[in-house]
Structure formats: C-alpha cells, structure tokens
Structure 1
Amino acid sequence: MTIDTVRPTYDRFVGRKLVFILISSGLLVGTALLAIAAGPTSLNLSEVVDGLIGRGDPTTVTIVRGVRLPQVLAAIVAGAGLSIAGVAMQNVLRNPLGSPFTLGISQAAAFGAAFAIVFFGVGSTTGSDATPVIGNPYVVTLSAFGWSLVSTGVILLLVKYTRASPETLILTGVALGSLFTASLSLVQYFAQDVEVAAIVYWTFGDVGRATWTDLGLMTVVTALGTVYFVYNGWSYTAMNAGDETARSLGVDVEQLRIRGMMIASLVTAFIISFVGIIGFVGLVVPHIVRKVIGGDERFLLPGSVLVGAVLLLASDTIARTVFDPVVLPVGILTSFLGAPLFLYLVITRREYW
C-alpha cells in the first residue's frame, strides 16, 4: 500500500471520531439547556437564554442563575472528571473493571465523611421534617478527601514498589472497598440517630449540594487532569499495545503509569469529597465510548469527557424531575445504570486490549 491509498483511509478513520466528538459536544449543550429548563417551574428556551444573560424577569434570573445553573455545571464537571479518571485507570491498570468505585476510593471517601460527622459533630437535622444537614461541609469534605487518599496511596504503593498485576490491583481495590464499607458500618452502629441520618444523606451522591466555590475547585482540578491526559493521549495509546512496545517507542511506562494513577485518583477524590458517591460513571462511560470509536486514547479521552458530562447531566435531570416533587439523588440512578454493565463485564470477561 502507498501513502496515497493509506492517507484517505486514515482520514476517514479520524473523521468518524471527530464527528462523534462534535455530536457529543452538541448533545452536551442541548442537554444543558434542557436541564436548566426542566424543573418545578418549567421554562422555555427564550426564558433560559434571558436568565443566563441576566435579562428579563428577576424570578427567572434567580431560578436559572442561582438554582439550576450551579447544579447543571456541577453535573457536567463531575461527570467529565469521573469519566476521564475511569479511562485513565482502565488504561493504566490494563483492566476493563478499573474505576474509582472498584478501587475502593469512593468507599474510603464515604468512611471519611462518616468519620467527620460522628467524631467532629457536624451532622444535625433541621425543619419539622427533620431533614438531615451538615453544619460544616468543608470539614466533611476534607475528611472524605483525606481518607480517599489513603486508598489511593495503597494502590500507588503497589504500582510503584511491587509491580502488582492488574488483577492484583483490582482485587486490592475490592478488599479496600470492603474494609472501608465495614468501617463505615461500624461508625454508623455507634452513631446517634441524627448522625446516621447525616451520614446517609452525604453518601447519596448529589450534585445539587455543590456551591459556586465547590464548583470552582472541582473545575480547576478536573480541567488540569483532563489537559494532562489529553496531552499524553499518544503515550497512553502506545501503552495499549503493551509495555514493551510502548518502551520501544520512547514512552517511560513506569512514570506514565504512576503519574496517571495519581492524577486520576486525585481528580476522583476531589469530586467525590464535594458531591458524595456517584458510582459506576467512571466504569460505564469509557466502555460506551470505546464501543463507538475504538480504543485510541487520543480520541477516547476527550470523547469520554463529553459523554460522561452528558450522561451524568441527563441522569441528574431525570432524577430530579421524574418523581416530581420528590428529588432523587443522582447516585441512585447511576448505580441502576452501572451495575448491570459491571455484572456483564464480570460474566463475559470481555477483552478490550
């Protein structure tokens, strides 16, 4: 084959992936507008636009800018961050079951939140219906973040010093998840009723609880992580062909693996510590995108960012409108979506590399 015959084939190969990314971008914008419009007070497109630019009825502006926009943006950032972390973990561990949830990071964050609520006394209830609230959310966030780093640290130590196999890392994550889940149950067993209610409230993943400050911090960390992974997309693609092949192409496999795992874990820990546990997004999205455009990390990474944002945003919109006026935590809906796929992967043991 000559360059004249290969080039058109390659251009079509890349073109299909770029079209998918463009469609995903348009779908994200459309889903965001729909999410802002949907709610107890329905808005049309012109009202949404007027609210976004601060023009028109003050009530509409308050609903759009003060209530719905922060939640929509938090869902976009959280979905994007969890998805790119999932892609990176699956590549680094060379295991299709790699994700923040299966590595015990989410469970460690939940224990950290429970630890702060019980031992620092920040959980309480309010109102006639005894709605659980957290008096100092930043104490809970810092504790959740710190304990999630414990799980991350164990995985990183195994990667760096023991050269553990991908299967060993996944089994270690399962063991860590079980350990922190048992620790969480122990804390709940000795906690007071008010504290148990606050713990359960936190563990329900909910992007609606994020403030503008939380959103800013999540955005910065997620953006930096995304830039790093996309910039190194070619190197991660080379790693898909095997460590020896990647080394022959000049890739520092060990350092790339350690840095990738660390950054993915930090992005995950940051997001979970602010919005609670949102399971399976980091597991589901990479497989959806990989099935459509293949395993080239140069396109898989940005594609997963967009699809993850769309998936979590759509899930959050459904969760807060389908049983109106009852608002479901989005973490429940994503678990319903992710659990069947997880079981499918375990049963079929489908290989992606």
Structure 2
Amino acid sequence: MPTKNGVTAVLAALTALLFIFSLSLGGADISWQDIIKFASGGEIDEIKETILLEIRLPRVIMAFLIGMLLASSGVVVQSVFLNPLADPYIIGIASAATFGAVAAYLLKLPDFYYGVFAFFSAAILSVLIFKLSKKGKSIATLLIIGIAFSSFLGAFTSFATYLIGEDSFKIVAWMMGYVGSANWEKIAYISVPLVLSMAYFYFKRFELNVILSGDEEAQSLGVDVEKMKKRLLIVSSLAVAFSVAFTGMIGFVGLIIPHTLRMILKTSSNIVLIPISAFAGGLFLLACDTIGKSVLSPTEVPIGVVTAFFGAPFFLFLAIRSSRSI
C-alpha cells in the first residue's frame, strides 16, 4: 500500500517536472535548459528572463495555489456534510462566489473587492445549505439543494453579465476559468486566504477527524459540532471565494483529488488528506492549465473546461457508486 511519504515524494517530483515543462510552453522559445539555468541563478537572455518573471512564472504559481485552495476546501466540505459528493462547485458555493465577484465588477470596485464580495456571497450560501441539508442528509437532498441554488444564482450572474455590455466577453472567459492574467499582485492577494485557510484546517485537523465519526460521537467528545461546522464552512468559503474572484469557475478539483487520494492511501483521515490533497490539487490544476495551453496551441482551452472534462465523468462514476451502496 502506498505510504504518505511515498505519495508526497512522487508528487514533489512530478511538480518539479511539470513546473519546468509548463514554463517552457508559450509563443517565445524558452528551452528547459534556459529554465534550469535561470532557476539556478545563471544569466539568460534578458527578454526570456522578463517573459519568465512577468508572465509564465506568475501563471504557473497561480494555478498551483488555486489548486491547493480548491482541493483542501473539497476535503473539508465533504467532512462537514459527511457526504462524498459535496464539492464547492457542485453544491453551489462557487456559483455564489461568482455572483458576488460579478456584482463587484458591476460596481467598478478594485480587484481586491471581488474576493470580498465573493466571500460574503459564498459564506452566506454555505451556512444556508448546511441548515437546509440537515433536514435531509441524503446525497440526493444535498445535490438538489446545490443544483437549485446554482441555477438561481447562475440566472442572476448571466443577467449581470448581459448588463455589463461590451466587456461581457471578458466576464464569460473569466467564468470558464482562466489563470493567464496572473501577476505578482494577485498572487500576493491569493496567498492571504491560502495561508489563513490552510493554517485553520491544520489546527482543526483533529476536530475534523472526530466529526467524521458522526455528530453524536463528536459531541460526546466535547466538540461543539454546530459551531465547528459553520466555522469550517466559512473558512472554506473564504478559500473558494478568492479562487473564483481571481481565476473564475474551476470545478471538480475539490471532488477528484480527495477521492483519488482516499483510494490510493486507503484512509479518510483529514490529518493525512488535507496537506496531501492541497499538494496534489496544485499539481492537478497546473497539469490542467498545461493541457489547456498545449492541446490546441496557439488557441488556449479554458482551464475550467479541462477540469470539467476530467471531473464530469468522475462525478458520474461516484454518483452511480453511491446510489448502488444505498
């Protein structure tokens, strides 16, 4: 059986290789030798150095950080709802964040407020879904609630996009998932919710494991389940909201990564899954962005389209398997 350290070592090696490969892709011819030389402190052509520092490296880092946010949030959301199909994208949290970000755009606010508006929208919906799902804890109930809210908010988002007018194409492209506009300022912004959410998940990792045993068991061990789950959902909403605000709707990362790692590691322990899922999520999203850049080059496939290509069949597989186990 694969071990935690073994999986981590493989992920680290794959990440290093993918970083180099992804940095070499683009209109300008930059070889992997140039990249290694640049990374080791050597001198390369000034134009190539500028392209790497200002365009390609921010994009690669942004894809990796967003993947970390989405995958770790997926682990937590599934633990909170005790539901294997709970994913921020599927249950509507990402749709709420998108609505908030588009509203901030309509109000012509600075970029940072996209994340703030997205966060409040996502947090409110997360708590509301949590309250409603408690009345019917089946997988079907959660999915129906999520689809209903996603459709409702999607209609408002589409109407808001229509009102934007000439710039609506930018919004549509952003909603499909795009990391190509990454820069160091946006990376600094996204690093804040990443550090805060990962730190909170780490400090609450034992409570997260207790929650997996059920509400009654957790309460008997002194955990205020209701309060803990609300806080976890709000922090998860923070992570999802800022990822949506800066890179648009990127689905299924929080579904694919936790499930795949559970199957590989044969464990549901959040102590193990949260850090490794974050690492694997970063690698997965970077791989999807690399595929999107190269498969129809020079045309780019939006990263959200690539993740949906992998995620939709995976979701269908999980849904069929879950229905058979009922």
Q: Does residue 1:215 correspond to 2:187, yes or no?
A: yes
1:94-132 CA-partner distances (Å, limit 9, x unpaired): 111111112212222333344455x44x6xxxxxxxxxx
Contact 2:94 2:122 in 1 (8 A): no
Name which of 82, 96, 102 aligns with 2:90.
Answer: 102
Q: Name the aligned partner's letter for residue 311 of structure 1.
A: F
1:342 maps onto 2:315 in alignment: yes
Q: 1:292 to 1:109 in 2, by over 3 A?
A: same
Report the CA distance between 1:80 and its aligned residue. Answer: 0.4
Q: 1:166 to 1:42 in 2, by over 3 A?
A: farther
Would you say 1:248 and 2:220 are equivalent positions? yes
1:182 counterpart letter in structure 2: A
Choose from 48, 55, 64 the match for 1:76.
64
Match of 2:278 among 287, 296, 305: 305
170-179 or 107-116: bigger deviation: 107-116
Match of 1:176 in 2: 149
Deviations 1:68-89 (A, max 9, x none): 1000000010000000001100
Kept in 1: contact 2:67–2:253 (CA 8 A): yes
| Structure 1 residue 346, shift from structure 2 partner | 2.0
Contact 1:205 1:332 in 2 (8 A): yes
1:155 aligns with 126
1:35 aligns with 2:7: no
Q: Which runs of 5+ in 1 are unaligned?
A: 1-12, 123-135
Distance 2:164 2:51 in 1: 37
The CA RMSD measured in Å over matched residues stands at 2.6
CA contact (8 A) 1:152 1:265 kept: yes
Larger Rg: 1
Q: Which residue of 2 aligns with 1:9?
A: none
Alignment match, 1:112: 100
User: In the alignment, which residue of structure 2 is the partner of 1:92?
Assistant: 80
Within 5 A, what are the aligned runs for 1:273-352?
Answer: 273-293=245-265, 294-349=267-322
Q: TM-score, normalised by structure 2?
A: 0.88
Q: Give 2:44's aligned amino acid.
A: G
Percent sequence identity over aligned pairs: 32
**Per the alignment, do residues 186 and 161 of structure 1 end up closer, same or farther by CA in structure 2, a change over 3 Å counting?**
closer
| SS of match in other structure, 1:65 | helix
Deviation of the 1:325 alpha carbon: 1.1
**Matching residue of 2:113:** 142
Aligned length: 322
Distance 1:188 1:55 in 2: 46
Match of 2:240 among 248, 259, 268: 268
1:139-176, Cα deviation, whole Å (9 max, x unpaired): 5x624641552242133145469954444554332221
Unmatched tracts of structure 2, length 5 or more: none
Q: Measured at CA, do residues 209 and 243 of structure 1 come closer, stay the same or move farther in structure 2, by a change above 3 Å? A: same
When normalised by structure 1's length, the TM-score is 0.82
Deviates more, 1:225-234 or 1:334-343: 225-234
The AA in structure 2 aligned to 1:228 is: Y
Distance 1:106 1:161 in 2: 18
CA distance in 2 between counterparts of 1:215 and 1:54 reads 25
More moved, 15-24 vs 158-167:
158-167
Name the SS for the 2:43 alignment partner: coil
Q: CA deviation at 1:287?
A: 0.9
> 1:245 Cα shift?
2.5
1:37: Cα distance to partner?
2.1
Which range moved further: 266-275 or 147-156? 147-156
CA distance change for structure 1 residues 271 and 343 in 2, over 3 Å: closer, same or farther?
same
Secondary structure at 2:180 match in 1? helix
TM superposition shift of 1:340: 1.0
